[in-house]
Structure 1
Amino acid sequence: MVTCVDRKEKYRSVLSNGNVSIECDNPKAYGGAGHEFGPHDFIEAGYAACLNAGTRKICERENISYEEIKITVALDYHDDEKMYIRHKIEIKGVSKEVEADIAAREFQNCLVKKNLSKELIFEPLED
């Protein structure tokens, strides 16, 4: 569970999961100063973190050495009917064939992707 508490500055807030906290701000286009992560950045971050961890688990399980795993996620929510969440998985230090194979498998298995692909129901949290 995450809580979000406002800051004095316009549209700034702090998010906490009870263990760590991170500052949040609206992008300039939406009235904020844009100095911190914005609300949509957290959707991208959750998906990127899941893809990164899953890719690392595949490499670990199969004893595949790599130099770096870099995940890029871009959210496009400007269509009134659809939201596009695009990703790129890069594994430095392996062949393009190995990278493509691992990326395809992780895309199929990513738990955050599976959860975001379900029907979403928004409702108040009961006390």
Structure 2
Amino acid sequence: MITVKSNAEKYQMDITNGTATVKGDIPVANGGGGQYMSPTQMLASSLGMCLNVTTRFILEKRNIAYKEITTKVDVEDVVGESTIFKYSVDIDAVISEEDKAKYIKMAFAGCHVHKLLEQKLVFKPM
């Protein structure tokens, strides 16, 4: 479970899972300080983290050495229509571009957050 508590700075918040804590904020354009990730950026980071670790799992399972995996995610925040997640995965490894594309496709299909976001969402009070 995630707990979010407001703090003294205008619209800043502390976000914790009980073990780790990060700070959140909203953009300056919305009245915040813009110092930390916004809620939409946090959502994008969840997909980016999942794609990153899923790619690593796939490569490690196949004993493919890599230097670094870099994922990028951007959300086109369109309310009332489709919300578009743009993503990229860069695999820094000595493998063919064809193999990279195959592993990225596998990572996208296997990413748990992607699966959650693709489903119909239902919101219930706790």
TM > 0.5 fold call: yes
- What is the aligned partner in structure 1 of residue 96 from structure 2? 95
What are the Cα deviations for residues 74-104 of structure 1, in whole angstroms up to 9, with x where unaligned? 1111353110011111101232112111001
Within 2, Cα distance between the matches of 1:91 and 1:77?
27
- What is the aligned partner in structure 1 of residue 47 from structure 2? 47
- What is the aligned partner in structure 2 of residue 62 from structure 1? 62
What one-letter code is carried by the residue in structure 2 that aligns with 1:54? T
What one-letter code is carried by the residue in structure 2 that aligns with 1:124? P
TM-score normalised by structure 2 residue count: 0.94
Displacement of 1:28: 1.1
The total of aligned residue pairs comes to 125
- What is the aligned partner in structure 1 of residue 106 from structure 2? 105
CA RMSD in angstroms comes to 1.0
Q: How does 1:14-29 map onto structure 2 within 5 Å? A: 14-29=14-29
Within 1, Cα distance between the matches of 2:40 and 2:56?
25
TM-score normalised by structure 1 residue count: 0.94
Within 2, Cα distance between the matches of 1:79 and 1:4?
23
What one-letter code is carried by the residue in structure 1 that aligns with 2:70? K
Gaps of 5+ in 1: none
Q: Percent identity?
A: 32
SS of alignment partner, residue 9 of structure 2: coil
SS of alignment partner, residue 121 of structure 1: coil
User: Runs of 4 or more off by more than 6 Å in structure 1?
Assistant: none
Gaps of 5+ in 2: none
What one-letter code is carried by the residue in structure 2 that aligns with 1:100? A
Within 1, Cα distance between the matches of 2:88 and 2:79?
21
What one-letter code is carried by the residue in structure 1 that aligns with 2:32? G
